[in-house]
Structure formats: C-alpha cells, structure tokens
Structure 1
Amino acid sequence: MRLSARLLALAFLFLSAAPAALLAADGGDAPQAARPPGAAIASAHELATAAGFEVLEQGGNAFDAAVAVSAALSVVEPISSGLGGGGFFLLHDAASGRDVFVDARETAPAAATPERYRDANGKLDRDRSQNGPWSAAIPGLPAGLVHVAEKYGRLPLKTSLAPAIRLAREGFPVYARLERGYAARRQVMERYPGTRAVFLAGGKPPVEGQLLRQPDLARTLEALAERGFDGFYRGPVAKKLLAGVRAEGGQWTAEELASYQVHEREPLRFWYRGWEIVTAPPPSSGGVALAQMLQVLAGWNLSSLDPAQRAHLTIESMRRAFRDRTFYLGDPGFVHVPVEVLASRDYAAGLRSTINPQKATPSDVFSGLPTPLEDEETTHFSIIDAEGNRAAVTQTVNLLFGSGLVPPGTGVLLNNEMDDFALLPGQPNAFGVMGYEANAPEPGKRPLSSMTPTFMVSPDRVAVLGTPGGSRIITMVLLGVLGYADGLDAQAVAALPRYHHQWQPDVVEAETGAFSPEVAARLRAMGHTLDLPDGEVSSGASSHFWGNLQTVMWDRRGNALQGGTDPRNPVGKAEVRLVRAAEAVP
C-alpha cells in the first residue's frame, strides 16, 4: 500500500542519588579520547552494580558485565524482572564500531489464542490476562544471557552468573519497594504453592530489612551456568516449569520452550541536532516513537522557548507518536511494520505541520481507525567499559511480580506479558494503551513493548540511557534525550521531572513539580487536560513520581565518565571506577 496523502497531511568514584559521579583523566582540555578512563555502571540496585564491576575486575568486558548485572537484578528485583521474563540488549562493540540489538522478548504459547482471554460476556478477562499461567509468555531472558555471553563476552557464563548465584543462595535485604509491591500483589502471589514457598518461606510476607533467600533460583541459575540454553529450556528445569504451569491450568509445551530463539536485529538510528540516536527497533515501539517525536521537535529550537511552549510542543509530538503506535507496530516476524515511513524525516515533517503552536489538538481529531499505510515494573541498566564498549539493557516481567506464579522447585517468577498483546482489539491493557491486529497474539509472536534502551553519540559525548515505566518509558527516554541535548549532566538527566501523553486517554499526566502553577495554567488555556498529583485536575491516575532511569555518559573531550541513577529509587546505584581495559589486566 501507499502512505495516504491524508496521513501525510496529518503528519518525535561512586554515586547514589547525589551529584553525578565523575572520573576524569588528566588534561581536561585534551582532544577526543580514544577510550574512557575506566568504566561506569548505573543500575536500579547497588548489588547489581557491584556484580557488574566484580565481573569487569576479573577481565570481563561490558557484555560480560551486562550478563552479571541482568542476572543479579533477576535475583534482587523480582518485582521488576527475572529469568521468567524477557529483555532487550542494545550493544556497541568498540573494536568493530558495530551496534546490535539483541531481542530476548517473550513469545506467545500456541494455546494462548484471543478466545482464551474472553469472559462469559465476551469481554476481556483481566484476571486471566494479568495473573497466573495464561498470562505468562515463554521466557526469553535466560536465552538472552547465554547469547550475549557466548557471542560477545570473553568470560565463561558461570563466571558472569556467579554473583547472581551467590545473591540467590545467601540472600539480600528486602527493601521498601519490594515490601510494598508484594503487599499490592499478595492476593495473587499467595494463590500458588511455588510462590508461597519463595516469598512466605518464614511464614510471613517479606519485610524491609529481612534477608530474602532463593535457593531454588540459585539452583536454576547454576543449571544455566553449567549447561547454557539447555540448562533452562530443556532438562530438569524445563520439566519443572512445564509441570508448574500445567498444574495451574496452563498449556505450555516442551517444544515451545526448546524452540525459543533470540533474534539479533539492526538497531533503529536517526539524527537529532548533532546527536546520532541508536535505539530499539520493533518489536519495541519505543524506538519508532522516539524517532517520530524527536524529528517532529527538531523543527523548533526548544532551548529558546519558554517552559509552557516547550511542554506544549513536546506533548503534541507524544500524542501523534502514540496514535501511530496503536495501529501500526507489532512483531516484524508476523506483520509488516512500516518503520521506514514512520521513522522518516518527511513523515515527521507532515506530523509537525498538523501542530498548532498555541493550541492543543484533541486526540479525537485523529481517526480512531487505522489510516491506510503501505505499510514500576521493568528495570534498566547502562554500562560503558574501559574499551568503549557499551550496553543499554531493559528487562521485565511486565507488571509487579509478573504473573505471580513461581513453578515449584524453580524459583522462577513467570511474566505476564500476554497482557501486552492486543487480546481484544481496541481494549486497553494494564498501561491504558490499545492495539489492533498488528499486535494480536499468534503462536511464537512477541508482544509489542515500550522498552527503549538507547545510545546517544555526538562528536564530544556518548550517553547510554533507559528506564522502566510501561508506556511512560518512551516519553521518559524522550525527556532524557532532550536533557542531554540541552547539555545536562548524567545525574541531572536521571532526575528530570516527567510528563506523559499517549493519545488515548486525552490527558497529560505529570509528576509532582513537573509544571509550575503558571505553566499548568497556560497549558490548560491551550486546551490540554492535566492530571496532576496535587489534585488540580481529573482522574487522579498520576502517581507523585514514576520511572527509574539509569544512565551513564562519557565526555570524550575531557575523557571523563559520569553516572546518573534515578533519585526516585533509593536502592539504585551509579558508579564509576578506574577499571582498566581487559588487555591491561594481568
């Protein structure tokens, strides 16, 4: 098909939550450095950051460290991610200059047809789509860890997984967010004997400060370390996974587990005001939306605008990108995704032409039907090593504690990613975003994701960033990119106040302090509906704060590293160390 004329006419050291960590070499005004002076890691938990440095100090590279951090987060952040989920690894190999996107997203079981998720009245059964065995897709993260270690790392998998195995066996202190998350999901979690065995091991729910030990998860990680892919997807662990799912009424098969495949994809890349942006392609929707929003906004010099005008234009770019996300994006192995059109400068220019600089565009102006085209959940970490390799990794089990189901004997908390499919066309999922045929479930298909791991590269600076946050991931990364483009340091980028619009509902959500009273008043005068946490407007859907952005940045002119960790998350850690390049390690 052709892109319709109508659509074109309608056509984006040590650090905790303090000032940015910094490690600089001598000679601050020297020409561009060929290599960083050390390594930087920012993750959502200090134990995961420490696991990454432990592996770097054994001679590993950023990719070994990514395996270590990912696995450690799978142990200490079950609220957000784990072996029972999936993730995206955006990697840059400094020696070759190559960027690669490793897709370890979960896949739909054959039995999970749309009819399985309808209640007696034909409506979406949200309990089945979000809880228990039918909500769980086939996990991809274990295969992703094996793939990254074997193809890009230089250490044995058992070395990179050793910190996570130790954390699972010996335990870690429960933190407040984990305690609160369990309380919110307790009713579902305690349906399942395997889950109770992990989280009620002492007879009571997890309490801040107590040690949470996961011996079954340690054994599963050991099997993965010893046998690689087969240690999880075949053999004893696979049998326990299948038995646990079937015992609760699910219908996974051994063939589906054993046939899971990681896909390597070409990252999406485009330019914004002197920065090359390298980001996630489908089945992530984030990269395409980011390209649309930034290229729409490139038509204005945002730094010269007052805060209300800048916010208005940014919101309008969000509105248009999320409208396209709803209809066109899905797993490229199953549907044609018109990336070349949607992410092009010409298409962005068409979208820009529809923006009134002084007035909000009601979302209903944009058709609720596809235009003919020819087409606190989740976690993120960022790494740069002393060779210049980098990794931006976002991984998830979807909602808090995923499906709530741990198959007995595995310690593996399964995801509830089936809710990310368009199980019923036009019905919003848990994050309020809708989808249609492009994101309908099919056997082996990957659900559309908002995860947006991203690199920014300019002649002077290199930044790595990403965040959890459901559909808000995309707009948080957008605001982070704009922050770096404005010259902010890594910690300032991580701390930026956030706001969000996703086409439907036609409401701007904002954190506490994101808009001054004067800016809020001007946005309302332009026609925007604001959902502010201070109760000024509307549904009360906005939380006071959201997201957990983790970022690192290398200033090549001064040869300095910075790390930024989200101050909203007190257990996160961004750290910079003088870890030498591997060939210099004895």
Structure 2
Amino acid sequence: MSRKSLAVLFACLLFVAPLSARESAKPSAQPPGAAIASAHALATDAGFETLRAGGNAFDAAVAVSAVLSVVEPISSGLGGGGFFLLHDAKTGKDVFVDAREMAPAAATQERYLTADGGFDRDRAVNGPWAAGIPGLPAAFVHVAETYGKLPLRTSLAPAIRIARDGFPVYARFARGYQQRREVMERYPGTRAVYLASGAAPKEGEVFRQPDLARTLELLAGHGFDGFYRGEVAAKLVAGVNAEGGQWTGEELAAYTVKEREPVRFRYRDWDIVTAPPPSSGGIALAQMLQILSGWDLQELDEPLRVHLVAESMRRAFRDRTFYLGDPDFVKVPQRLLTSPDYAAGLRATINPSRATPSDLLSGEQTPLEDEETTHFSIIDAEGNRAAVTQTVNLLFGSGLVPPGTGVLLNNEMDDFALKPGTPNAFGVMGYDANAPAPGKRMLSSMTPTFMQSPGKVVVLGTPGGSRIITMVLLGILGFDAGLDAQAVSALPRYHQQWMPDVIEAESGAFTPQVAQSLRALGHSLKLPGDEAAGGRGSSHVWGNLQTVEWDLADNALHGGSDPRNPVGKAAVEAIGATAR
C-alpha cells in the first residue's frame, strides 16, 4: 500500500465518531397481505403455502429456501450456505443470520498446490477439496426454532414433496448441466442422481431426487442432528473421503450459524440495513452510497452520473480487497469503513471530469463469488421481512454428491485466497484477510438488504458474483429515483470492481453516446459484442434481482421478479390481512 493511501486512511480515523444505530420509523399500518419474490415459481408458491398454514415470513423463508435448494441445484442447495437478513415487526429487531460455509481443518493453502508449487485449479473448484462444511441446513433449524411459528416439518413439507415427486427441468438447468457434465459425471453419487433416467436431464422432463427427499425428511424430523449427525452426516463424510477429501464427523457436528449485527447507515431519506462481514456487500454499499450522497444524481446527465457511480464502486472494491474477511478471524475496521467522514474523504479524491486510474489507488485484485447464486425477498401481513441470498458458488457447485444423500456440495473453498496473489476461477486474487483456516468462513459478495423511508419499505437482493454488490447499489438508486419494484428488477446493469480497471455493462445499459462520453472521461469499457474486436466482452445479462416493496402511503404491496429469469415469480396475496 502506498504512503499516500495510508495517510488518507489514518487521517480519516481522526474524524470518525461511533455510528449510532438509527431507529427506523415505524410503519403506520400493517401490510394488506404478503409479498414474495423468488427465482422460481415453485419456491414462491411454497412460501405462500406456508403462510396459509399459519406461518410468518420466517417460516416462509425456510420453505422458499428449501424449495430453491431442490429446484435450483445450479445455484444453491443443502450442500451450500447463505445469509438470512430478518426483521421482526413486533420488536423492530433486525438480525443477520450467517450460515456461510466453513473451511474443513484439512483444507490448508498447501493442499491446493501442485508438486511444482503451482496452483491446482481443478482441486479448488471440483470435487471433495473444493467443498466447505455446509451451513444452509443449520440455518433452517435456527430460523424455524428462533423466529418461526411452525414446526420445521411443516415448512420443509413443500421441498420434500417436490424432491420426491419431481419438477420440470427448465432451460437454464439443462444448459448448466451440459456445461458441467464432465465434472458431474466423475462421481458415482452424482451420476446416480443426474443420470438416473439413463441420460442427462432434458428440458421439460420431470427430475426427481428421492435421496434428497430422504435427507430433508431426516432434517425435518430430527432438526440439526438429522443432517449434521447420524445417518446423513456419516454418508457425507464417507462420500467426501472416498473421493480423496478429508472431512470428519466432528467438524460437521461442530457447525454453528452466527447471529451478527447488520450494517446500518443512512442514504438521503432511506435507512439501509444490510449484510455485515463475512459479506463484503454491506460495507461496500455504505461506502458507495455515502460517497454518492454528495451529489444529486437525478440532476446530472447520464454520463456524469455513471462516471460518479463507477468511481464510488472503484473505491469500495479497493477497500474490500485489503480489509474484509471473516470477523471471527481478522480485525475488520468496520466503523471506519462505514463512516460518513471516511466516505467524504474518498469523495474528495474523485475528479468529476476524469476517471481515476485504478493503479493510482495502490493495491492488487480482489476475490469474488460466482454468479450461480439465488435470492428471495418476503414481507408478510405482520410486517416481518426476510431477505435471503444463498449459494453453492459455481454452477452445480463442486459437482460432488456423496452417495445416498442427494446433497450436491458447494465449491466455496475457491472463494478463499487459496494461493495469495494467484487468480481464482474468475481471474481475480485475494490476500491474507481471506486466507483459509480451520472453521473460517470465506468472504462473500451476497448482500441481502432492507430499505425504509417515510413512505416505503423495500426488501431486495440478487445473485451475480462480485456484481451482486453493484446490482444492489443500482437497485437502491432506482428506488430512490422513484421506480417501482418491477422497474427496479429490470434496470440495466454496469459494474466497476477496481481491478481489472474497466467498466463492464449488460446489453443496452449504455447508449453509444453515453459509452463514447465515458471513454472520453478516461474509462475503459467492456461491452457485449467486444469479442468481435478481439476482446473478451461482457455478459449480455447479469443477475436475478428479486424485490418486494410496501408502499406505506396507500398501504399496498408490490413485487418485482427479474425479467431475465423466465421461471421466477413475484406475487402478492391477502394472506393474514383479515385474521388480525
């Protein structure tokens, strides 16, 4: 780090005062029902089924999460982890439930080196060494027992039924399997699930997972012990170790979810409640939005607005690299990084008429998480809220299903800095704050978020790797500009993550005139179609934003499901509205 960067950082320390936990204004009425938005219609329907059975938003969150674990193995599952941001309307309490995966004790950095000292990419992303100890099943138990109204068996019933009876394979599922089939078909337990019909899953055919249904039944009947001890745990350990990994039953039994205090800050008229470490998202959001609070973005022309937003992204991602990791293992300077004074110092380094080259902000590149993640948002008739983002990391995770479990394991170990200074699967690097250690949780970009103003309550989030953070940022700016939930979910997206020093954008995010203006300001752009000119280009569409909003002025609920995802569903029902 340069002497100049250190001077800016420590000068800001002199002006930082403790952030007070601002109390959000209490809504004047209760919602007229419930709203749920998720990445699959079956999951949204399961949430409403659970509410009709007398559950609250937290029971519905377990139901939606579990069904997504069944129908979206490309994105999440019992073999992965997630973050549950919850708001209890009765007490006004917000809590962040950290169910991130943990590193097995044997998974040291040395395990990911080849004989000549190089980085073993295959081991980091495929098979037994790629997987961290799963956290999502423990979250189901914790959320149901601590915050729900219903027994776990009721909330898990839709997922058990769908795993047993099956669901139609959709296009993204079938395409994803073809992309990962070489890895998936290495392992007998995976072949038994995905080749059960004798061929790879095809769009439209019914996909059944009886072993996963059995695992969910044991979890429903025995709680934590149904997954982390006993029959399922023994099969998980045996399956991992048979493929050359080193898990122990003691490690599984020792897994715990962590309740953490959310990140809170103010942006214009909004109180924002969002994800703390080991998510990097909340701190980055606080930095970016507080930097941007120095301008009235709606009064600016589009090129200048995008320029300032991209410059805020650049600075937040630079700090993400050096300071963020599992707070149980590293000291995260959260109070400083989320301070308005620190944001003001960063704002002062932005030149409104010229892009700041990233190499002038001294440092290296940053770790990130893959796009194959999922998110859902819920508000119930009592005003309870749930924003949940969950993942197995890469497409179909590690590809490994321990025989007899139906549980597809994550490959979150690649989210650690397994070899400092060496790019991970996505060409980016990490450092000591995010190095693996026994029981440590890898850094994440997942950013489930609440927003509340005097007139509106919003729940939002998305998958998308490191782009999660910037997509949530653009969603917040969209709501602040007065857009409704569906319009926000459809917003075009762009992203700057400090290193590499480039703005990426979706198709249609910038007009040719805006792109030309940004280049004139000194920005490098990577746009869809750039491949034709010899570049790598950018993905045509990103993410899968799911959001619900409660308009307090007319006491109405609305949902927005990302139009990029044809199987998602946002819905509103009057469940519970007349039962008070």
Counterpart for residue 128 of structure 1: 123
Counterpart for residue 569 of structure 1: 565
Counterpart for residue 155 of structure 1: 150
Listed as ranges, the matches of 1:179-190 within 5 Å are: 179-190=174-185
Q: Is 1:317 matched with 2:317? A: no
1:369, 1:184 → 2: CA distance? Answer: 31
Counterpart for residue 380 of structure 1: 375
Counterpart for residue 329 of structure 1: 324
Q: Is 1:283 matched with 2:278? A: yes
Q: Is 1:7 matched with 2:5? A: no
Q: Is the 8 A contact 1:42 1:49 kept in 2?
A: yes
The one of 458, 469, 473 equivalent to 1:463 is 458
Q: Provide closer, same or farther for how the CA distance between residues 538 and 61 of structure 1 changes in structure 2, counting only shifts above 3 A.
A: farther
The one of 339, 355, 362 equivalent to 2:357 is 362
The one of 545, 551, 567 equivalent to 2:547 is 551
- How far did residue 426 of structure 1 move? 2.0
- How far did residue 430 of structure 1 move? 2.5
Q: Provide closer, same or farther for how the CA distance between residues 530 and 248 of structure 1 changes in structure 2, counting only shifts above 3 A.
A: same
Aligned residues: 559
- How far did residue 581 of structure 1 move? 5.0
- How far did residue 367 of structure 1 move? 1.2
Counterpart for residue 140 of structure 2: 145
SS at match of 1:383: strand
2:155, 2:576 → 1: CA distance? Answer: 18
Counterpart for residue 22 of structure 2: none
Counterpart for residue 237 of structure 2: 242
Q: Is 1:81 matched with 2:76? A: yes
SS at match of 2:447: coil
Counterpart for residue 411 of structure 1: 406
Counterpart for residue 191 of structure 1: 186
- How far did residue 541 of structure 1 move? 4.1
- How far did residue 425 of structure 1 move? 1.2
SS at match of 2:85: strand
2:520, 2:423 → 1: CA distance? Answer: 29
Structure 1 letter corresponding to 2:59 = D
Normalising by the residue count of structure 2, what TM-score does the alignment of the two structures yield? 0.94
Structure 2 letter corresponding to 1:559 = N
Q: Is 1:425 matched with 2:414? A: no
1:190, 1:582 → 2: CA distance? Answer: 52
Counterpart for residue 202 of structure 2: 207
SS at match of 2:236: helix
Listed as ranges, the matches of 1:104-119 within 5 Å are: 104-119=99-114
Structure 1 letter corresponding to 2:37 = A
SS at match of 1:575: strand
1:123, 1:32 → 2: CA distance? Answer: 56
- How far did residue 540 of structure 1 move? 2.2
Counterpart for residue 260 of structure 1: 255
Q: Percent identity?
A: 75
1:353, 1:427 → 2: CA distance? Answer: 32
Deviations 1:447-499 (Å, cap 9, x if unpaired)? 00000000001111000000001111000000000000101000000000000
SS at match of 1:350: helix
Q: Is the 8 A contact 1:40 1:384 kept in 2?
A: yes
The one of 483, 487, 510 equivalent to 2:482 is 487
Counterpart for residue 474 of structure 1: 469
Q: Is the 8 A contact 2:529 2:538 kept in 1?
A: no
Q: Is the 8 A contact 1:88 1:103 kept in 2?
A: yes
Q: Which runs of 5+ in 2 are unaligned?
A: 14-25, 366-370
1:441, 1:312 → 2: CA distance? Answer: 36
SS at match of 2:70: helix
2:60, 2:327 → 1: CA distance? Answer: 29
Counterpart for residue 454 of structure 1: 449
1:357, 1:66 → 2: CA distance? Answer: 43
SS at match of 2:290: helix
- How far did residue 7 of structure 1 move? 3.1
Q: Provide closer, same or farther for how the CA distance between residues 393 and 363 of structure 1 changes in structure 2, counting only shifts above 3 A.
A: same
Q: Which runs of 5+ in 1 are unaligned?
A: 12-30, 371-375
- How far did residue 80 of structure 1 move? 0.1
Counterpart for residue 44 of structure 2: 49
SS at match of 1:294: helix
Normalising by the residue count of structure 1, what TM-score does the alignment of the two structures yield? 0.93
- How far did residue 118 of structure 1 move? 1.1
Structure 1 letter corresponding to 2:390 = Q
Q: Is the 8 A contact 2:8 2:345 kept in 1?
A: no
2:93, 2:138 → 1: CA distance? Answer: 21
1:359, 1:234 → 2: CA distance? Answer: 58
2:54, 2:424 → 1: CA distance? Answer: 44
2:242, 2:195 → 1: CA distance? Answer: 20
The one of 507, 516, 534 equivalent to 1:512 is 507
Q: Is the 8 A contact 1:224 1:230 kept in 2?
A: yes
Counterpart for residue 373 of structure 1: none
- How far did residue 542 of structure 1 move? 1.1
2:445, 2:297 → 1: CA distance? Answer: 25
Q: Provide closer, same or farther for how the CA distance between residues 189 and 176 of structure 1 changes in structure 2, counting only shifts above 3 A.
A: same
1:559, 1:431 → 2: CA distance? Answer: 44
Deviations 1:261-300 (Å, cap 9, x if unpaired)? 0000000000001100000000000000011100011111
